[in-house]
Amino acid sequence: SEPRGILAGYSWPQYAVHRGELHMALYRRFRDLAGDDAIRLGCRATGYEIHKNGTVSLQLDTPDGPDYENGTLLVGADGIHSAIRAAMFPRQPPIHWGGAIMWRGTSMARPIRTKSSFVGLGNHRQRMVIYPISEADPNTGLALINWIAEVTYDDPSTHDNVGWFRRVEIENFIHHFEDWTYDWLDVPALIREAEEVFENPMIDRDPISHWAEGPVALLGDAAHPMYPTGSNGASQAIV
């Protein structure tokens, strides 16, 4: 009942892109601007140290052991489990679980109805969101379909409610959706076409008092964690 896309005054109905393709587009653009030497992969931020001259050292855990990078500005965009925020706020607010668990995957399947339809099924206790993130192959008619399955639990001990993008087996959750079959959509068949599935809890944290400390700033979920639903983080970062 809520207007979206063109009906809401936008120039397009919806734009959906594979998360990995978006990451690579951003990576290539940054590499073009900053050069290959500005990118280090396979490292994990563990903390930082601010020096008297105003510079900052980023502490890293690398395959070869501890290392660091020096600079005049550090932007911590390392997510809800941010090591940079933890260093800035050793007594940071704890993670809050909203009671829901989500499973995410992509499957090759025929697009639904208009071939660009966004489908939402279910209710506040159990639901699915399904939409294509590629054009249909002209030979097979198949497109890459993104789907998110969600179930709300009353017992916090039911699942790991602080993990993030944990790879799980389809059989761990598909029983919740086994009877979701329609003449225009077979949900369990769609789920089973996924090569891998990742589990996310619906979590966030309470606000912190500030997002910057000298030459160090926080960005995104490191600063203000949002529920991972409705493309919250990516949409707000891009818009």
Closest CA to 146 of 191, 180, 176: 191
Residue 159: pLDDT above 70?
no
Residue 160: pLDDT above 70?
no
pLDDT digits (tens, 9 = 90+) for 71-110: 999 999 999 999 999 999 999 888 888 889 999 999 999 9
3-state secondary structure of 197: strand
Tokens of 97: 């679980």
- Return the higher-pLDDT residue of 229 and 86: 86
- Rounded CA separation 154/134 (Å): 36
Least confident of 67-81, 175-189, 220-234: 220-234
**Phi, psi torsion values for 229, nearest 5 degrees:** -145, 155
Please indicate whether the domains covering 19-93+207-238 and 96-203 agree at the CATH topology level.
no
Residue 162: pLDDT above 90?
no
- Fill in the DSSP letter of residue 92: P
Amino acid at 202: M
pLDDT digits (tens, 9 = 90+) for 202-219: 888 999 999 999 999 999
- Rounded CA separation 92/86 (Å): 6
Closest CA to 201 of 65, 120, 104, 111: 104
- Residue spans of the domains in the chain: they are 19-93+207-238, 96-203
Residue with tokens 């668990």: 101
SS3 content of the chain, % helix, strand, coil (to 5): 25, 35, 45
pLDDT score recorded for residue 126? 95
Tokens of 11: 């120039």
pLDDT score recorded for residue 97? 87
pLDDT score recorded for residue 154? 83
pLDDT score recorded for residue 82? 95
- Rounded CA separation 61/73 (Å): 19
- Rounded CA separation 221/227 (Å): 9
- Rounded CA separation 142/139 (Å): 8
> Given pLDDT bands bounded at 50, 70 and 90, which one contains residue 115?
confident
> Given pLDDT bands bounded at 50, 70 and 90, which one contains residue 158?
low
Homologous superfamily, domain 19-93+207-238 = FAD/NAD(P)-binding domain (3.50.50.60)
Amino acid at 114: T
pLDDT mean over 29-47: 95
Sequence-distant (6+) residues with CB within 8 A of 21 are none
Closest CA to 163 of 202, 133, 137: 202
In what order do the strands lie in the sheet containing 212-213? 74-76, 216-218, 212-213
Handedness of CA 132, 163, 226, 2 (dihedral sign): positive
Q: Report the mean per-residue pLDDT for the chain.
A: 91
CATH architecture assigned to 96-203: 2-Layer Sandwich (3.30)
Tokens of 41: 């992969």
Tokens of 46: 């563990």
Bin 166: left if φ > 0, else alpha if -120 < ψ < 50, else beta.
beta
